[in-house]
Structure 1
Amino acid sequence: MPALDSTGASGSAGRPPRHWSPVQRCIAIDADDFAQRYWAQAPLLTTAAELNDDFSDLFSADSVDELVSERGLRTPFLRMAKNGSVLSSASFTRGGGAGATITDQVADDKVLAQLAGGATLVLQALHRTWPPLVRFGSELAAELGHPVQINAYITPPQNQGFASHYDTHDVFVLQIAGTKHWRIHEPVLPDPLPHQTWDGRRAQVQDRAAQAPAIDALLRPGDALYLPRGYLHSAVAQGELSIHLTIGVHPLTGYDLARELIAAAEDDPELRRSLPMGVDVTDVDAMATHLRQAAQRLVDRLGQAGPELYRAAARRVGPQQVGQTRPAPIAPLAQLRAAATLDPQTPLVLRPGLRPRLRQQGEKWVLSLIDSTVSWPEQVHAALLIVLSGKAFTADELPNLDDAEQLVVARRLLREGIVIPAVIPAVIPTVIPAVAPGPDGGAAGPATDDGG
């Protein structure tokens, strides 16, 4: 594991931000190297100095204050914990006041009192509520290929919100402010599934947590830590308030695919047949025989299946995963304004993270979105392929359509939230650096004003 930077420097002062992929914001090694050596296999600790950046553009202490005091959050978008136990929501929420019938809106004064008393504040689902993390979460999920969630943990000095435990999803930890002491232990159950939570193995977790940790590190602002699911972890804030983001990655597994294959076998008459009358479900040997017969029938059924069975299962998996990931946000009023003022040269682009699916249905082409479909006539097919390429386009570039039809299609794409106005980067003119004459009258190199 890389050693922690003893200085704790954030690594961002005087350095330009890196314009990398979302994954590369969390690691300092090549993404392919990370995928081969660490993804779902081993923890990876990366310091701020190695990242050459921090996370202040994503979240900060001011973000916490704004969310708590101005955004009207309700449970379950926040919770609080102390000494390893979750607090009752009544201890940090109250009614919404005049004109509101809700009873669980965050009460900033109660949150203040709980924080002062040593409780940890958890702001949940920030990939849905905080704009910079809405965008970052959408982009990260698209790159990873798995849905993500983002929470923030705000812990007072010398306090621990939760006891040692493991998660059933992978985690990227991004330290925002303060310092936190992390202890990481090897799994008691590698790659746990969502229902295989740590509290069902509490004794094993406590025994493992009492052993020497695999990683014992102090995270400083700008540091990042990747943990595969199953790794035990606990964290204690040090001498000042600590804020960190936890990015949970909910992976699609082989077990998930196997369940889809079992569901695909529902059309097999033998598997649908009732067990014999009078079956004794408490007879382990008898039931084991029935299970072996069902397993063999399933193996035979899948072995005889053609490609269409697997394609049908794949078609079910795709929408399920897409539905768990929010695409890039759109501004409804701005979309309507863009549609109303659209001209043939207005640049448009597919909404990032949307991942629509195009299929033919009779004489029409159907575009499947998150939870809706949009039908198009055959003549629009070639235009849809341009849209789905992900490259910026203009209405007058859509083929097989006349001028009026191009605008009709482009406006509908905007109103359906399928495309958004494209932001075309400005062309920055090349600047030739000034040169100072050398002793011989020639160029001595770029002139500087820093004394160097």
Structure 2
Amino acid sequence: MSTTRTDFQDPGAIEGGGVLETRLIDIGRERFARDIWGRTALLTRGAGDFSDLFSAGAVDELVSRRGLRTPFLRVAKGGSTFPDSSFTSPAGVGATISDQLDDTALWRTFADGATLVLQALHRTWAPVADFSSSLSTELGHPVQANAYITPPQNRGFDDHYDVHDVFVLQIEGTKRWIIHEPVHTDPLRDQPWTDRRSAVAEAAKAEAYIDTVLEPGDVLYLPRGWLHAAQAQGEVSIHLTLGIHSWTRYALAEQLAQAALAALCDDPEMRRTLPLGVEGPDAELDVVRERLAAAVVEADSSPLFYRTRRGQGRPAPLGPLAQLAAVGGLGPGSVVRLRGALEARLEGLRLTTRVGWLDFPETDLPSITRLLDGEIHAAGDLGVELVGRLLRAGVLVPVEQ
């Protein structure tokens, strides 16, 4: 049987225009993809109300009631990051963990002008997690979310650039953003701004590409490499940053090279020992280049690409008790759907997902293919035994009726 691949679209990720077009930009997805994405900055005024995603109340709850630990929070002031020990402490009886957030210490630090950075909100705050997952599915690139809470008239970080694209969503208060064009276009993950500190500082003295004050509901898009600095105005500023960890051609080249090198392990000529007394590689390079080039042409890096992509995110939450109840009460009338953000792919007789892989007989393939549409299905229409297996594996989740 020939291998077939079926891409899975998370349910509800793109309905209508999707969250990109309906909540972050006002120029349309096609124009954004053609003229803006990875190319230039974009300011969108009044994109919408983001209070459903995040708020001052969310900040207080996360800091004071959720028992967060480092590195879920950073503290910065004047371009420097505070040591974790300055805002963490043991949590007391029954939770003697030394690095939980100390809300009193954070209050004093914040009152003294420091910026609080709540990191990885795509893991700790459900509305942001759902939004980030939807955006990641639409863009085809992993998304992380941080929140920056800055006291009036303060800035947390000096001019710098990021090695990922960002959408900045102003939640509360106002913040002045000063944007300059890149000194190093499209930096890779291992090319941080600190490697070009002097060039960044010099470029920041020039006339700004954008100098504006973001108000609640405004959105700013910056490709990686674009210089920026931001300062709160006359009140506390809260903004949400959605970081897009873009796939690059360089990343694909790395994976292709890995696949080619793995194939060369099976080439006896490449395993051969170099001549006795060899003084340098020159005499062997022609053979190596020839065989490496041939291996690159033949290499299939797709499995590595999808494996890496699965590892860059997590599936949608699963409730163990609800899952157990669904398995125990399973019958033909039970309704289920594919778990969200699972990155499920059917490759031949194997279903690969973020929670592992499963092999199936060919007779199950029509039902598996139907499940990959992300829609709601009755167990009786798919096969109760098959549905039970997928529920136990964490691939399917029950749907409340």
TM-score (norm 1): 0.80
SS of the residue 1:135 aligns to: helix
* Residue aligning to 1:199: 194
Query: Is residue 382 from structure 1 mapped to residue 359 from structure 2 by the alignment?
Result: no
Partners in 2 of 1:154 and 1:94 — Cα distance?
Answer: 21
Cα deviation digits, residues 232-281 of structure 1 (max 9, x gap): 1110000000000010010111111111121122233455556666666x
RMSD (Å) for aligned C-alpha atoms: 2.2
SS of the residue 1:315 aligns to: helix
| Structure of greater relative contact order (alpha carbons < 8 Å, 6+ residues apart) | 2
Q: Which amino acid aligns with 1:64?
A: V
SS of the residue 2:171 aligns to: strand
Moved more, 264-273 or 337-346: 264-273
Unaligned runs of 5+ in 2: 1-14
Partners in 1 of 2:284 and 2:170 — Cα distance?
Answer: 53
Compute the displacement of 1:101 (Å). Answer: 3.4
SS of the residue 1:389 aligns to: coil
CA pair 296-193 structure 1, distance change in 2 beyond 3 A? farther
Query: Is residue 325 from structure 1 mapped to residue 313 from structure 2 by the alignment?
Result: yes
Cα deviation digits, residues 139-185 of structure 1 (max 9, x gap): 11111111110000000000000011001111000000000000111
Compute the displacement of 1:336 (Å). Answer: 1.9
Q: Which amino acid aligns with 1:386?
A: R
Compute the displacement of 1:325 (Å). Answer: 1.8
Partners in 1 of 2:185 and 2:167 — Cα distance?
Answer: 17
- Does the 8 Å contact 2:342/2:355 carry over to 1? no
Q: Which amino acid aligns with 2:292?
A: L
Compute the displacement of 1:353 (Å). Answer: 1.5
Compute the displacement of 1:294 (Å). Answer: 4.7
Query: Is residue 302 from structure 1 mapped to residue 259 from structure 2 by the alignment?
Result: no
Partners in 1 of 2:208 and 2:247 — Cα distance?
Answer: 28
- Does the 8 Å contact 1:135/1:329 carry over to 2? no
- Does the 8 Å contact 1:78/1:121 carry over to 2? yes
Cα deviation digits, residues 27-67 of structure 1 (max 9, x gap): 1121111111111111110011xx2x211100000000000
* Residue aligning to 1:46: 44
Q: Which amino acid aligns with 2:378?
A: T
SS of the residue 2:179 aligns to: strand
Moved more, 147-156 or 379-388: 379-388
* Residue aligning to 1:6: none
Identity %: 49
Compute the displacement of 1:343 (Å). Answer: 3.4
CA pair 248-288 structure 1, distance change in 2 beyond 3 A? farther
Partners in 2 of 1:290 and 1:103 — Cα distance?
Answer: 56
SS of the residue 1:22 aligns to: helix
Counterpart mapping for 1:360-379 below 5 A: 360=348, 365-379=349-363
- Does the 8 Å contact 1:356/1:367 carry over to 2? yes
Q: Which amino acid aligns with 2:149?
A: I
Cα deviation digits, residues 184-220 of structure 1 (max 9, x gap): 1111110100000000110011011111111111000
Query: Is residue 129 from structure 1 mapped to residue 142 from structure 2 by the alignment?
Result: no
Compute the displacement of 1:129 (Å). Answer: 0.7
* Residue aligning to 1:21: 18
* Residue aligning to 1:11: none
Query: Is residue 397 from structure 1 mapped to residue 385 from structure 2 by the alignment?
Result: no
**How many matched pairs?**
382
Cα deviation digits, residues 353-407 of structure 1 (max 9, x gap): 21222234xxxx3322214223333432221111112222111212xxxxxxx22
* Residue aligning to 1:410: 387
Q: Which amino acid aligns with 1:298?
A: L
Partners in 2 of 1:131 and 1:224 — Cα distance?
Answer: 21
Partners in 2 of 1:133 and 1:70 — Cα distance?
Answer: 18
CA pair 44-97 structure 1, distance change in 2 beyond 3 A? same
* Residue aligning to 2:343: 355
Partners in 2 of 1:238 and 1:126 — Cα distance?
Answer: 24
SS of the residue 2:27 aligns to: coil
- Does the 8 Å contact 1:141/1:148 carry over to 2? yes
CA pair 218-356 structure 1, distance change in 2 beyond 3 A? same
Counterpart mapping for 1:41-440 below 5 A: 41-48=39-46, 51=47, 53-266=48-261, 267-268=263-264, 269=267, 294-295=288-289, 297-303=291-297, 305=298, 309-310=299-300, 313-360=301-348, 365-398=349-382, 406-422=383-399
SS of the residue 1:114 aligns to: helix
* Residue aligning to 1:438: none
- Does the 8 Å contact 1:141/1:325 carry over to 2? no
Q: Which amino acid aligns with 2:396?
A: V
* Residue aligning to 2:8: none
- Does the 8 Å contact 2:315/2:354 carry over to 1? no
Larger Rg, first or second structure (1 or 2) = 1
Q: Which amino acid aligns with 1:336?
A: L
CA pair 87-302 structure 1, distance change in 2 beyond 3 A? same
* Residue aligning to 1:446: none
CA pair 80-274 structure 1, distance change in 2 beyond 3 A? farther
CA pair 214-297 structure 1, distance change in 2 beyond 3 A? farther
